[in-house]
Amino acid sequence: MKPIISISNLTKTYASGQQALSEINLEIQRGEIFALLGPNGAGKTTLIGIICGLVTQNEGSVSVDGHDIQKEFRAARAMIGLVPQELSTAAFETVLSTLNFSRGLFGKPPNAAYIEKVLRDLSLWDKRNAMIITLSGGMKRRVLIAKALCHEPQILFLDEPTAGVDVELRRDMWQMVRQLRDSGVTIILTTHYIEEAEEMADRIGIINKGRLIVVEEKTKMMDSLGSKQLTLTLREPLSHLPDTFEPDSLALSENGHTLTYTYGTQQQDNGISELLRQLSEQKIEIKDLHSSESSLEDIFVNLVKEKA
């Protein structure tokens, strides 16, 4: 299937000289949830800004469902809904009038039934006649999502959708994003919460210092880049590692009480039985052991460190 968004050689340097993006190539597939993950200032918002029309690129091109975002900006933008990071809303408008405004702005004729559906889905129907300034932060966030959805976009950008949002609302929002995806909307979200990407995304792109470091299906990324750790608590402290072990994969804690063995999840022979055999040969007794899988967070930290 043709990708819904194709980005090629996208480069952006701001007037201040700050290079925000360099040679980004990326394809977003129809109907997926794509998470763009990266530390603050990595270029996530700039990338979204270019696709949506807030920022102009220096080089490269973006097409949305075959429409170039500059030459055919109407067709491209009509397909996109953007939920910005900041809670930027008109203060003295009512919820309903701001939604009608958004729908009209994107060239759609009024449709009260559709607006009602969006409001009900986001639990905003009771607040439809409330002035936006009177709403809580979480409610304002929902209003922004409703604004982005009320012109029936096929692509939804969520820029840091759960920044500063309480746990309950975050769960609700994830639920809503899944429902949207099930209805056929392609979703691109940026986040620096790895938990969020791990929970939601089909594919993950990691961006750092304006470069796309890796793009991979979430499960594959966790498999290929993930590792497990086996922690052994020793009965008697060791003063140093026995010479027979590889120092790379085995580490001794400072107090000599724990040994940590790191191994890849993909390896056929992970070396655990060999390790245990050697330990018993050396008469090193084990009091306790447990193993843990690395999270996306560890993968992310490693990647960003490596490529920095």
| Footprint of other proteins (CB under 8 A) | 14-15, 49, 52-56, 73-78, 80, 82, 84, 86, 88-93, 97, 100-109, 147
What φ, ψ does residue 94 adopt, rounded to 5°?
-85, 160
CB of 24 to other proteins, least distance (A): 17
Q: 49 vs 226, which CB is nearer to other proteins?
A: 49
CB of 95 to other proteins, least distance (A): 14
CB of 113 to other proteins, least distance (A): 17
Three-state secondary structure call for residue 281: helix
CB of 49 to other proteins, least distance (A): 8
> Under a CB-based contact definition with an 8 Å cutoff, are residues 148 and 156 in contact?
yes
Q: 9 vs 56, which CB is nearer to other proteins?
A: 56
CB of 107 to other proteins, least distance (A): 4
Q: 93 vs 298, which CB is nearer to other proteins?
A: 93
> Under a CB-based contact definition with an 8 Å cutoff, are residues 61 and 72 in contact?
no
Q: Got the DSSP string for 226-256?
A: -EEEEEEEESS--SS--TTS-TTTEEE-TTS
Q: 43 vs 226, which CB is nearer to other proteins?
A: 43
Q: Give the integer Cα–Cα distance in Å for 306 and 308.
A: 6
Q: 78 vs 135, which CB is nearer to other proteins?
A: 78
Q: At what angle do helices 95-105 and 137-149 cross, to 10 degrees?
A: 30
